[in-house]
Amino acid sequence: MNDSFLKDKAGADALPVPHRASIDMGSAEFFKRARAQLNFDVPAALADPSIVAKTGDRGTDWMLEIVAREKPIRQAAVLIGIVEREKPSVLLTTRAGHLADHPGQISFPGGKIDPKDASPLDAALREAKEEVGLSRDFIEPVGYLDVYSTSFGFRILPTLARIRPGFDLTINTEEVDDAFEVPLAFLMDPANHKQGTKEYRGKLRYFYEMPYEQRYIWGATAGMLRVLYERIYTP
């Protein structure tokens, strides 16, 4: 993505639409494309402070360069779970309102990578089980997306996974308030990829936002969904 795509809230609402695959593709085509694009090689940027995991967005990359110089790396992993329904959907959570960090925000199941975790994949699966009770028996991992960096020093490695229907969830209210699904077609439609701005050290930085019904999906979660769109839906 480049800054020709950037628009603040006062400008046009959505980003220009590049040539892309159909946003209404079914599960079979989606996972075929995903398996062709992704693998389980852990990117060096997850742990190497000399590598700045950039987004390609000059409206954000300058901030990430500052963060990389000033803050220690906080490694994290999340599960981007695609539920294989007639119309595929994405499993999301609402962080518990009493949490000190990002209370009430919408996120993927996930969290920091612990020393006991065998891999980022293992961390994402563990967190999904701890937060919402999602059994590994229903999860088929597909591969890693790109490392996603945040202003808090997190370097997040998302695992894309297929989730078979029939699972039961048990919400851990210490960590999340609820779990819900959003149609994949909605989240992969660039017409729904809005951009907002916030000030960081006297300059504007940009972030994605994808409001859905009464849910406000934004920040790192929306940013990772945009990365998914760019990897799977654009040539």
Q: Could you give the CA distance from residue 62 to residue 230 in angstroms, rounded to a whole number?
A: 21
Map residue 153 onto helix, strand or coil: coil
**CA nearest 129: which of 115, 119, 139?**
139
pLDDT of residue 63: 86
pLDDT of residue 101: 66
pLDDT of residue 134: 98
104 conformational bin, left if phi > 0, alpha if psi -120 to 50, beta if neither: left
Using CA of residue 118, residue 119, residue 122, residue 124, what is the dihedral sign? positive
Burial of residue 86 (CB within 10 Å: 0-12, 13-18, 19+) is exposed
**Tokens describing residue 166:** 């029939």
pLDDT of residue 4: 35
Q: Could you give the CA distance from residue 94 to residue 132 in angstroms, rounded to a whole number?
A: 11
Q: Could you give the CA distance from residue 25 to residue 28 in angstroms, rounded to a whole number?
A: 8
List all residues 6 or more positions away from 100 whose beta carbon is below 8 Å from its beta carbon: none
pLDDT of residue 235: 63
- In this structure, the strands spanning 74-83 and 154-163 are parallel
Give the chain's domains with CATH numbers. 3-11+25-183+191-232 (3.90.79.10)
For each of the chain's 235 residues, which pLDDT tens digit applies? 433 333 333 333 444 444 456 788 888 999 999 999 999 999 999 999 888 877 656 668 888 888 888 999 999 999 999 999 989 999 999 988 677 566 778 999 999 999 999 999 999 999 999 999 999 999 999 999 999 998 889 999 999 999 999 999 999 999 999 999 999 999 999 999 998 888 888 888 888 999 999 999 999 999 999 999 999 998 6
pLDDT of residue 58: 63
